[in-house]
Structure 1
């Protein structure tokens, strides 16, 4: 029996991260999602930012900061966040795709400071609303994958 709702939260987060990854054209094995405090997700990307061509790029999600783009360091230290999407804590996948597309085009989207969203009492419902709903297509390049 799941009296604390962790199963629902984990399922909703996995579904949401899967939907975003699929929209980005990223395989499931390049993602990681964890419930807890804070709930978080990581999506490894193959693309590189124009100003950091030698650094791996990732999208990070946290339940109090939403999505952020970060570059990996060479020393194994924490990643360096280069931009936060802002807006809302659980945006539709298409907004995350647009954020990444603008970053890759060096258009400086989002914001530099973390948004610090309040804890969301309906987080599971928001995640489920934007979660995986079946086969889709990659929207980063604008064409089906």
Structure 2
């Protein structure tokens, strides 16, 4: 018996869906798609560079991180080029609406007190569930549309 859905097919579907989800979250945050990257290795993860900085750390860039186990987290760049410092986790749904993610970022940026140490949500692994939740964001583009300039 030959499986109808190969790992390559699943990876392609996941990348197209995650690409669309990141574009929608980026739009809700007011950042362009050039600020978004995805990695479909295990665990599937994503990164969105944010335009704003925290008032209490004006010299450090901020970003959103997402992975299929913990969902979204808000992070700050370090001066040393090491891993990002996670400041907070959104928790709850692994694939929340773009508006919910934007509200999370706004809450972190407006928080004026010291941020308590973040506690990651319980790790969940449901690759098929994540893919099905991302499916509504899927964008299909012909392969040549990504490589060739559009006719005017």
Which of the five TM-score ranges fits, normalised by the shorter chain?
0.7 to 0.9
Give, in whole Å, the separation in 2 of the partners of 1:128 and 1:24: 21
- Figure out how many residues of one structure are paired with residues of the other and give that number: 132
2:134 match: 127
**CA distance in structure 1 between the partners assigned to 2:135 and 2:24 by the alignment:** 10
Q: Does 1:118 align with 2:121?
A: no
1:34-92 Cα distance to aligned partner (Å, 9 max, x none): 11201011000110112211110000001101000000011111110000000111111
- TM-score (ref. length: structure 1): 0.83
Unaligned runs of at least 5 residues, structure 1: 134-145
Gaps of 5+ in 2: 140-152
- After TM superposition, the runs of 4+ consecutive aligned structure 1 residues lying more than 3 A away are none
Residues in 2 aligned to 1:16 and 1:107: alpha-carbon distance in whole angstroms: 30
2:104 to 96, 99, 105: 99
**Conserved 8 A contact 1:19-1:132:** no
- Tell me whether 1:52 sits opposite 2:57 in the alignment: yes
- Displacement of 1:126 in angstroms is 0.5
Separation in structure 1 between the aligned mates of residue 50 and residue 19 of structure 2, nearest angstrom: 17
Provide TM-score, normalisation by structure 2: 0.79
The two structures, once aligned, show a CA RMSD in angstroms of: 2.2
Question: Which of the two has greater helix per residue?
Answer: 2
Distance 1:28 1:105 in 2: 24
